[in-house]
Amino acid sequence: MSKKKNNSKKKSLASKADRHDLYLKSVQCPEHEVWFLNKTFKKEFGRPAALLREDFCGTAAVCYEWVKKKTARNAIGVDIDPDPLQWGRENLTANLSQAQLDRVQLLQQDVRIVNGQKADIVAGQNFSYWIFKTRPELLGYFKSAHANLADEGILMLDMMGGQETLEEDREEITRKNGFKYIWEQKRFDPITHDCSFYIHFRFKDGSELKKAFEYHWRLWTIPEVTELLAEAGFDRVDVYWEGTDPKTGEGNDVYRVKKHAPSDPSWIAYIVGVKSKK
């Protein structure tokens, strides 16, 4: 009798889960992001980048990874929400030395503020800039990112699109170690391009962390973004398109600059705004 009582009191896996930890395990790969940022800057300017400004940094996982690899690197992480910044401080810094930590500066503020040392790279990843829903708002952000860059620098953004991203009530379920990561496209308005996405996590005991993260964005298109970047002052804008694995027909995680691409039902690309010395 008492055993049954104890079992019923047992906490569900969802109630014990840490949403930031699950997000990191599902969405982000800081090592890969750092590798790609570095490679893209080096290709452009023939030298390594020293200062990364990670806009919309969340837990600042990419900033911590950036300073870990090389002593000549510094990072500024910017996020308006103190919660992920604090989680990152408490959970992502154990393997960093004091000297490495001293090279990370976290700013709890709006990404549109222009301040701090001018960066070699400004990165705004995971579609976060889609929070800006109007042309003037997005242009304003791109202008401040341009002003936060040194005379030679790049702004790295990612993009997603394709017919499937326009569908409502579409779920993509990915099996992870011990849980399932669910990306739900809930709503897409073809007139305004307003869209809502949710991240849920499902566990082996059937419990769920519903709406662990939610995003209410405008689904921008590549031409809109590239035109606004040019208007904001970037000297060149490149689109890095993912190649296809001939065996599977799926993306191969290799991104190269392309002027044209085939229509793919679901794609991810990078857009790089280049600021160079006149």
Ligand X SMILES: C[S@@+](CC[C@H](N)C(=O)[O-])C[C@H]1O[C@@H](n2cnc3c(N)ncnc32)[C@H](O)[C@@H]1O
Residue range at the interface with ligand X (CB under 6 A); choices 92-100, 121-129, 164-172, 239-247: 121-129
- Give the span between the Cα atoms of 34 and 48, in whole angstroms: 12
Cβ neighbours of residue 190 closer than 8 Å, sequence gap 6 or more: 166
Angle (CA) 133 134 140, round 5°: 105
Select 28 or 207, whichever has its Cβ closest to ligand X. 28
Q: How far is the CB of 91 from ligand X (least distance, A)?
A: 14
Q: Which one among 58, 88, 153, 273 touches ligand X, defined by CB under 6 A?
A: 58
Q: Which one among 18, 31, 90, 110 touches ligand X, defined by CB under 6 A?
A: 110
Q: Is 125 in the site for ligand X (CB under 6 A)?
A: yes
Q: Is 139 in the site for ligand X (CB under 6 A)?
A: no
Strands 74-79 and 104-108 turn out to be parallel
Residue range at the interface with ligand X (CB under 6 A); choices 41-49, 126-134, 143-151, 159-167: 126-134
Q: Which one among 18, 81, 189, 235 touches ligand X, defined by CB under 6 A?
A: 81
Q: How far is the CB of 28 from ligand X (least distance, A)?
A: 5
- N- to C-terminal Cα distance for the chain? 79
Max Cα-Cα span within the chain: 79
Measured in degrees and rounded to the nearest 5, phi and psi for residue 3 equal: -60, -45
Q: Which of 212, 150, 223 is nearest to 180 (CA)?
A: 212
Q: Is 77 in the site for ligand X (CB under 6 A)?
A: no
Which residues sit at the interface with ligand X, rule CB under 6 A?
A: 27-28, 56-58, 78-81, 84, 110-111, 125-126, 128, 131
